Amino acid sequence: MISAVRDCLVTGYEPLIASLELPDPDDRHVLAAAIRARAQVIVTENLSDFPPPVLSEWDIEAKSPDDFVLDQIHLDKKVVWACAQQIADSWRKPPGTVTDVLARLQRNGLHGSVAELQSG
């Protein structure tokens, strides 16, 4: 991950953990890292454990993976399509196609994103 995404590691968030309140205390490190990184979004399927009133104190929102990718598609569909092509091109054994990538996204619950990408 580090070689693919520069600055992907967040450090120095640990002192924040104890001061945060979430429905699941085991998720506090996620919010602490998001605060420290000045993230705008936490991408998670676990939306109920990141209540909007708590996150709004930090100008952060939680989004499902499908909603997050849909946002990216609405910003620039061509860029997201190119990313799907890059993913397909990186698959070697077996080789992949964009159709394969979309099928994988569909299996992982990104139904809206796949429909939007397939809509032309």
- Could you tell me if residue 4 is inside a domain? no
Are 54 and 73 in the same domain?
no
Supply 83's token pair. Answer: 């990313």
13-22 average pLDDT score? 98
Question: What residues make up the domain containing 37?
Answer: 14-63
> Which residue in 78, 77, 114, 119 sits closest to 99, CA to CA?
114
Residue 28 CA to residue 17 CA, distance in Å, equals 6
Total structural domains within the chain: 2
Beta strands in the chain (DSSP E): 41-43, 61-63
- Could you tell me if residue 5 is inside a domain? no
Q: What percent of the chain is modeled with pLDDT above 70?
A: 98
Are 84 and 109 in the same domain?
yes
Q: Is the pLDDT of residue 115 over 70?
A: yes
Residue 37 CA to residue 24 CA, distance in Å, equals 21
The pTM (predicted TM-score) of the whole model is 0.89
Are 114 and 71 in the same domain?
yes
- When pLDDT is cut at 50, 70 and 90, the band that residue 1 belongs to is low
| pLDDT tens, position by position, 50-105 | 999 999 999 999 999 999 999 999 999 999 999 999 999 999 989 999 999 999 99
Per residue, what are the HEC states of 4-30?
Answer: CCCCCCCCCCHHHHCCCCCCCHHHHHH
Q: Give the model's pLDDT for residue 108.
A: 97
